[in-house]
Amino acid sequence: MSTNVTFCYVACWTEDDGIYYCGHQHESIAEAMLCQAPDGGNFIRAYEAGVSRSLDDEEFLEFLRVLPMMPWSSSRWILTYQ
């Protein structure tokens, strides 16, 4: 991960030996989410000044807002049947 970028989002997943990052520098949560495979083992983390951190409350709300719009989301029915 380059330290030139002061802020970005990354898609992550876990394997037996640790956490892996997608290696991209996504500008938005939605973009990082498109990088995910919906197998339940994926999540988004923020990179700020070279340090990885969990999404804060506001970012998590954005995650939930974008979730039904993802082409892989099983919750798209929420938008369709509201």
Instruction: Count CA atoms within 13 Å of residue 43 on its CB side.
Output: 12
Closest contact distance (angstroms) between CB of 16 and Zn ion is 21
Binding status of residue 44 toward Zn ion by CB under 5 A: no
Is residue 70 part of the contact set for Zn ion (CB under 5 A)? no
Give me the 4-43 binding string for Zn ion, x by CB under 5 A, dash otherwise: -------x----------x-x----------x--------
Nearer to Zn ion, 27 or 56 (CB): 27
**Site residues for Zn ion per CB under 5 A:** 11, 22, 24, 35
